[in-house]
Structure 1
């Protein structure tokens, strides 16, 4: 499946690049812009954060519930140091310097997370990462001097790209899509390198990998650092998309949403993060018209149960099963009435024949 993923991914990228130009031909202007920014753009941003979790789970066997918190660290770092944010905390840097600093902070937090949870696995890893994420959330929520408490930091409008306004729906969409494509193909390349192969060996049998002489702990910490960088990219884009950041964006609800996106899409391949994010975003946006705004959790829970029960490996598993059904060749009958199938001569003698 992975050998065929790159060509299909390139085709999907081409479709996504052309989609904002095709939507105005199919929908009214207001709806086309709404779908470009509020559906597709938002799905790409949260898909990047979900892909950081998918990377850890698929290739390392680690399921972390702290990826939304790490994305929030990047967002808050950007909001604290960039010029023009309200209220001003530091505000000394332009976006060209504040964005790399935010990504560095997210990577460092990912490395710290990997070091803290180094000796834990399975449910214990889930609990440690969730506890750390909620601890950081509570600290940010109650800190006024640096994070402005409950209200958060606003007016993070984003940089100017080649003289184009980042608030423009098309500009933001293509910037988010380009970032997602670079990270996605970067993961596909990374997992084929010696580092990626060792990481997959750690997922399957860490003791055997350690016996071969590899530093299991260092590879695991490095994997959390890579996932932290990916989540940081999503956190920066999310902060610009929301024109600011508040503690609610990294709380328990947001953390669970990222996990749901990853599971719905499928943990077998990084593309599943974006598929799950798109499904979740559509349900979240149209829940009020589909069912009831106050019953959104019921709706997403039913969709989650339906996909998991039909296919434990998510939406990409459903697609793989449909493809196998459509391409399956009918097996020829082993015996036709009136026809005797030839058999190779028996090596037994007459005396050896069973009664």
Structure 2
């Protein structure tokens, strides 16, 4: 009787081998972009894309994993921007306190997160259209309060000269440093959302989204999970709000105006509200339209202000053809190719 050779253990692929090649190509493009892109693309286009993507990512977390469509995220971001101007340095020296950066940054994030948590504690007691209306009403109230309050928020003018601190001797508002700063923050926020969505809390939150009664019967505190989701999303929105204030070098009531609040919803829905990468895709589409469509319209003799019409038509078209946004269109196209169907019509050859 021959002795059987021991079965060789299957070789498990390394973690980096599990990542699709397309993701590695995207990382390479983003890391090397300062080598071939100009300052306008780095600072205005990509920097703005990452910032709006982070704020929309906070909405995606609430809506995609928690089933709660919140219109307060831009207000939370603006609150963080205001706190940076108030507790840090700005052109309004009589209001700004001038605290060091390692103190005013955590304070700004904490106050913005507390603001989002309090709003969430009210909003989670409602569902559907009522949640949207409550958060929209609070966002409108925040806008009018900041515009009319001159003691703390300096009213209509807001704060100017709100710039990042010169850490390590680097001007972080210069195009290339600011690009890498926003890219790093966006990547961290994206990875954290992916990790949390697969954690016990994230899985429980998705269970609450799908069947809150069954989760309550299993012993989960449905309200606490939803409020905690608002807190987590508010931290992400606060980071985006701080970067937005630094990019514009100012913070004013218009930052949290109703049009800006609706824009975040449009960005999240257009990109895809079911996956963390969707808000960044939607933000890129929005920024490209917002930046270049006025020039295109002027070339055809139309008013540049009509760029919002293009954004609205694009939003309606994507929602009509794909409720899952651009990612949904991509998934359907790829599935049709895999089944050998025509990618456009879906018909068999």
Q: TM-score, normalised by structure 1?
A: 0.86
Q: Aligned Cα RMSD in Å? A: 1.6
Structure 1 runs (4+) deviating above 6 angstroms are none
Aligned-pair distance for 1:22? Answer: 2.6
* Structure 1 stretch displaced more, 253-262 or 76-85: 76-85
Contact 2:90–2:159 at 8 Å: present in 1 too? no
State how 1:91-102 maps to structure 2 within 5 Å.
Answer: 91-102=97-108
For residue 325 of structure 2, the aligned residue among 310, 314, 331 is 314
Structure 2: how far apart are the matches of 1:14 and 1:79?
Answer: 35
Question: Residue 83 and residue 48 in structure 1: after superposition, are their counterparts in 2 closer, same or farther (change >3 A)?
Answer: same
For residue 137 of structure 1, the aligned residue among 111, 132, 143 is 143
Residue 19 of structure 1: aligned partner: 33
Residue 127 of structure 1: aligned partner: 133
Residue 161 of structure 1: aligned partner: 167
| Aligned-partner SS, 2:327 | helix
Question: Residue 224 and residue 237 in structure 1: after superposition, are their counterparts in 2 closer, same or farther (change >3 A)?
Answer: same
Residue 87 of structure 2: aligned partner: 81
Residue 108 of structure 1: aligned partner: 114
Structure 1: how far apart are the matches of 2:283 and 2:86?
Answer: 28
Structure 2: how far apart are the matches of 1:299 and 1:5?
Answer: 39
Aligned-pair distance for 1:84? Answer: 4.0
| Aligned-partner SS, 1:159 | coil
Matched, 1:287 2:267: no
- 1:195-250 per-position Cα deviation (integer Å, ceiling 9, x unaligned): 00110000000000000001111111000000100100000000000001000010
Residue ranges of structure 1 left out of the alignment (5+ in a row): 24-31, 331-355
Structure 2: how far apart are the matches of 1:84 and 1:247?
Answer: 16
Matched, 1:53 2:59: yes
Question: Residue 124 and residue 6 in structure 1: after superposition, are their counterparts in 2 closer, same or farther (change >3 A)?
Answer: farther
Contact 2:85–2:96 at 8 Å: present in 1 too? no
Residue 14 of structure 2: aligned partner: none
For these two proteins, the number of residue pairs brought into alignment is 319
Question: Residue 97 and residue 85 in structure 1: after superposition, are their counterparts in 2 closer, same or farther (change >3 A)?
Answer: farther
Matched, 1:298 2:309: yes
Structure 2: how far apart are the matches of 1:6 and 1:304?
Answer: 31
Matched, 1:203 2:209: yes
Q: Rg: which structure is higher?
A: 1
Q: TM-score, normalised by structure 2?
A: 0.88
* Structure 1 stretch displaced more, 41-50 or 286-295: 286-295
Contact 2:207–2:215 at 8 Å: present in 1 too? yes
Residue ranges of structure 2 left out of the alignment (5+ in a row): 1-16, 298-302, 342-349
Aligned-pair distance for 1:317? Answer: 0.9
Structure 2: how far apart are the matches of 1:272 and 1:52?
Answer: 12
